[in-house]
Structure 1
C-alpha cells in the first residue's frame, strides 16, 4: 500500500479595499483633498495613462497585505484610468505612485507623518507634499538619486522654499499666500473648488447664451436692413419707370 503524501496548500492573501480609517477628519481637510484630486483629474483628462485616486489603499509588495498606505491623493503616470478597489503595484506593471499629497488634520501626529515619509521614501514616490491648512504650512520632498530629500533642506517646514515651487512631474505651482495655499495649473489658472468651477461654468453658459442672442439680433438687424434696401431699390425702380413714361431719362437727372 502506497502512503499518500499530503499536498501542501497555501492560503491566498486577501488585500482589503478598506483600512477602516476615515478619508478625512474634518470638512477643511476633506475640501482640500477633493480640490487637489479633482483639479488634477481635470488636468490629466486628455491623457488615458494617468491614474489619480484619493484615499485608495496602495499595496507595494505582493504577498504582504500589512505593508500598505492610503495617500490622501496619489498620481500614477503610465497606468490607465479606471476604477480599482485598491492599487496593487505588482498588477500595475510594478509602477509606484510618483506624486503623493497628504492634508494634515489636528489629529495627525509627528510619528505618523514620519512613518508615512519613510514609507513613501522606501517604496519609490518621486514627490511628496504635506499641507497643513490650519497653520498654512506646506512641506515637500523630491527624490534625488535614490531618496526623498526635503525641498527646505531638512528644515522641517518648506514654507519659504515651496513659495512658487513648481512640481517637476505635474507642472503645477504652489504659491503660499498670507491666509492660504494657492495651487496654479501649468497655464497659470488657479485650482478651484467645485462651487467655483460650477460658478465659472454657469458664467460661461450665460456669456455663450448672450453671445448667441447678440449674434441672432445682429442677423435679424442685417436681414431687416437688406429688406429696407430692397424696398428703396424697388421704389427707385418704380420712380425711374414713371419718369421714362414721361419721356424723362432718369440718368439725366
Structure 2
C-alpha cells in the first residue's frame, strides 16, 4: 500500500495576514507610525509603482511562513500600489522593501531589535531607520555593497530613496519632505484645511459684498440718467 503522507507543497502553505501583535503599544508610537505612513503615502500618491504600507507582514521566502517581519512602515519601489493582505516577496517579482521604519516603544528589547536588523540586512533592505521617541534618538543604516552599514551622522541626513531629510531638535525629530515642508500629522492637516476653507468663505463673502455695492452704485447712476461703465 502506497503511503499517502505527503509533505505540504509551497502552494498549500498558508501565510497569515496577522501576527497577533498590536500595531502599536501606546499612543506615542501609534502617532509616529501614522505620521510617517501618511506623509510618505502622500509624497508618492501620484506614483502607482510605489507601495507604502504600515504594519504589513513581509514574507521574504516562499515555503516558510515562520520567516517574517511586520515593519512599522515599509516602502517598496517597483510594485503596484494595490491592497495586500501580506507582502509575499516571490509574488512581487522578488522585490524586497527598499526602505523600512521602526518606532521604538518601551517594551522593545535590544535582542528583538537586533533580530530585526539582521532580518532587514539579510533580505535586502537598502535603508533602515529606527527612532526612539522617548529618548529622541534616531539611528539609520544604509546598504553598502552587500550589507547594511550604520549611518554615522543622522542629523541632517537625506534619504537617497525618499528624498526626505531628518533633523533632530532638542525635543523631537522633524522630518522634511523634498520640498522643504515638514511632515504634518492628521490634526495639523485638518486645521490647515479648515483655515483654508474659512479664508475661502471670507473671500467669497467679501467678493459678494463688492458685487452688491457695485450693483447699488450702477442702479443709482441709471436713476440719475447715467449709464454705468461696467
Per the normalisation by structure 1, the TM-score is 0.83
Question: C-alpha deviations, 1:24-48, integer Å up to 9, x for none?
Answer: 1111111111111011111111111
Partner Cα distance (1:187, 1:199) in 2:
21
User: Is 1:194 aligned to 2:182, yes or no?
Assistant: no
Match of 1:176 among 168, 171, 180: 168
Q: 1:246 matched to which residue of 2?
A: none
1:54 Cα shift? 0.7
| SS of alignment partner, residue 227 of structure 1 | helix
Partner Cα distance (1:189, 1:87) in 2:
31
Question: C-alpha deviations, 1:158-197, integer Å up to 9, x for none?
Answer: xxx1112111111111110110001111111111111111
Q: 1:19 matched to which residue of 2?
A: 19
Partner Cα distance (2:40, 2:187) in 1:
16
Structure 1 range deviating more: 15-24 or 96-105:
15-24
Partner Cα distance (1:37, 1:97) in 2:
14
Q: Which runs of 5+ in 1 are unaligned?
A: 153-160, 236-253
Per the normalisation by structure 2, the TM-score is 0.91
Partner Cα distance (1:7, 1:229) in 2:
101
Q: 2:140 matched to which residue of 1?
A: 140
Partner Cα distance (1:49, 1:94) in 2:
15
Partner Cα distance (2:139, 2:33) in 1:
16
Partner Cα distance (1:39, 1:29) in 2:
16
Task: Point out which structure has higher relative CO (alpha carbons under 8 A, 6+ apart).
Answer: 2
**Per the alignment, do residues 223 and 144 of structure 1 end up closer, same or farther by CA in structure 2, a change over 3 Å counting?**
farther
**Number of positions where the alignment pairs a residue of Structure 1 with one of Structure 2:** 224
| SS of alignment partner, residue 165 of structure 1 | coil
Map 1:25-64 → 2, pairs under 5 A: 25-64=25-64
Partner Cα distance (2:47, 2:169) in 1:
31
Larger radius of gyration: 1
| SS of alignment partner, residue 138 of structure 1 | strand
Match of 1:163 among 155, 162, 173: 155
